[in-house]
Amino acid sequence: MPKTKDKNKAAEHLPEIEIFKDYIRRKGLRFTPEREIIVREIFEIHDHFDVDELYLRLRNKGKKLSKASIYRTLPLLIDCGLIQEVYHEDGHMHYEHVYGHEPHAHVRCLECRKVEEFTDQRIKEIEEHISKEFGYRLTGLRFELLGYCPDCLKKQYLS
Amino acid sequence: MPKTKDKNKAAEHLPEIEIFKDYIRRKGLRFTPEREIIVREIFEIHDHFDVDELYLRLRNKGKKLSKASIYRTLPLLIDCGLIQEVYHEDGHMHYEHVYGHEPHAHVRCLECRKVEEFTDQRIKEIEEHISKEFGYRLTGLRFELLGYCPDCLKKQYLS
DNA sequence: TAATAGTTGAATTTCTTTTACAATTACTAA
DNA sequence: TTAGTAATTGTAAAAGAAATTCAACTATTA
């Protein structure tokens, strides 16, 4: 078997796909080609993404599936804990991977609109505190800090 | 001057109104009756709110102003730091007061959809850390924990 | 008091997301 | 392997939020 085939094989066994398949079957749903294409594409994006970006990436690769299918697949991926809504901006929702990512916060510059990620041990501590103290079973978090980045502060847009 | 008059007077000097007025004038904008009505109503709501709720509250009080005015006023209130977007749910944005409120997190139950607030000293510590370490000037934060509340866990919806 | 510039409401538009429906297809069990 | 069934798809339409256009109005300034 040629090497390239091996590579492709490896790509087919993304843990995300397996988790999705398990979820789909547990729910009595169907693992369709459309869903597979969408999920694979999402996990090739290594950044925040939105429906339009995902749709255009697929179109550019010649995959002609409808936006309706994307809109229908996203809640499934959220439900099985693979992705989550991160923030609503420019009139639509933005998503990010969850599986394999540590809980983290986003710092957003209100001037240049850049978003940076950072982790802090205290985020987990707070989660644990809430779980134990309030009796919640936590499945996700969104943490966003808003302000102005050093570059924009330097450029004297703001003082 | 009768006591009731004093009470009303006091209500007129809400610090939020003064902050809004200052902002409006600093920007060369106008403090109109519509804006005043909207801002006063917002600060009579002591909870998260959305455009529709605000609009209906005003309607029920016989204040007939347009949703367009609400949509136009909210960004002003966000810009001067009086309110912020908290979360996007049910297809629209929800807001909360910022002025006079300590930074806090929201815990949302994905089953009963209840939202609880809590504070934690570590939230401020993280803010300070980001400010100092990354050189940001921070103006706000959103912190949302998602999961299942003890009541819903008990009801065996989930195990 | 007139001129200027910001604001309002109503209606319209834009855009995101959801949904209805008929055709199609994945899965199940014989 | 092959029906039978129930879920899924794409298309188009619908629903809904938010932004915008525009003429009438109004606060502020000169």
From the list B125, B138, B146, the residue facing A145 with the nearest CB is: B138
Per-residue pLDDT of chain A (159 residues; tens, 9 = 90+): 333 333 333 345 789 999 999 999 999 999 999 999 999 999 999 999 999 999 999 999 999 999 999 999 999 999 999 999 999 999 999 999 999 999 999 999 998 999 999 999 999 999 999 999 999 999 999 999 999 999 999 987 554
**B1-98 CATH pick, 1.10.10.10, 3.40.50.9100, 3.40.50.800, 3.30.420.40:** 1.10.10.10
CB contact under 8 A, B144 and A143: yes
CA distances from A63 to A12, A34, A74, A97 (A): 17, 9, 17, 22
Closest nt to residue B65, judged CA to C1': C9
3-state per-residue secondary structure call for B57-117:
HHHHCCCCCCHHHHHHHHHHHHHCCCEEEEEEECCEEEEEECCCCCCCEEEEECCCCCEEE
| Residue A14: predicted pLDDT | 85
The answer to whether A72 touches A110, Cβ cutoff 8 Å, is: no
Interface test with B, best of A71, A104, A126, A144 (most B CBs within 10 A): A126
User: What is the DSSP track for B134-149?
Assistant: H--EEEEEEEEEEEE-
Report pLDDT digits (tens) over B142-155. 999 999 999 999 98
Q: Quick one: pLDDT at residue B25?
A: 93
- The pLDDT value given to residue B7: 36
Which of chain A's residues have a Cβ under 8 Å away from the Cβ of B125?
Answer: 122
- Domain range annotation of chain B: 1-98, 102-159
SS3 A62: coil
Q: Is the pLDDT reported for residue B10 higher than 80? A: no
pLDDT for residue A2: 35
The nucleotide whose C1' lies nearest the CA of B76 is: C7
Rounded to an integer, the average pLDDT of B5-30 is 77
pTM of the full structure: 0.90
B interface with A, Cβ–Cβ < 8 A, is: 84-85, 88, 93, 105, 107, 109-110, 116, 118, 120, 122-123, 125-127, 129-131, 134-150, 153, 158
Q: Which of residues 15-34 of B touch strand C (CB under 7 A)?
A: 24, 28-30, 32, 34
Strand D neighbours with CB under 7 A?
A: A 24, 28-30, 32, 34-35, 64-69, 72-73, 91; B 30-33, 50-52, 67-68, 71-72, 88, 90-93
The answer to whether B135 contacts A148, with C-beta atoms less than 8 Å apart, is no
Of all helices (H) and strands (E), which one includes residue A96? strand A92-97
For A102-159, CATH gives 3.30.1490.190
CA–CA gap between residue A151 and residue A154 (Å, rounded): 5
Same fold, A1-101 and A102-159: no
Kindly indicate the confidence band of residue B157, based on its pLDDT and cuts at 50, 70 and 90. low
Report the CATH architecture of A1-101: Orthogonal Bundle (1.10)
CA dihedral B3, B9, B10, B15 (to 10 degrees): 180
Query: In angstroms, rounded to a whole number, what is the distance separating the alpha carbons of residues A156 and A104?
Result: 29
Please determine, for residue B8, whether its predicted confidence score (pLDDT) is greater than 60.
Answer: no
Q: For residue B93, which residues of chain A lie inside 8 Å, CB to CB?
A: 88
Q: Give Cα A15 to chain centroid, integer Å.
A: 15
Within 8 A of B157 by CB-CB distance, chain A residues are: none
Residue A83: CB atoms within 10 Å? 24
Nearest to A43 by CA among A80, A71, A94, A83: A83
| d(C-alpha B86, C-alpha B84), whole Å | 6
Q: In this complex, which residue's CA is closest to the C1' atom of nucleotide C11?
A: B68
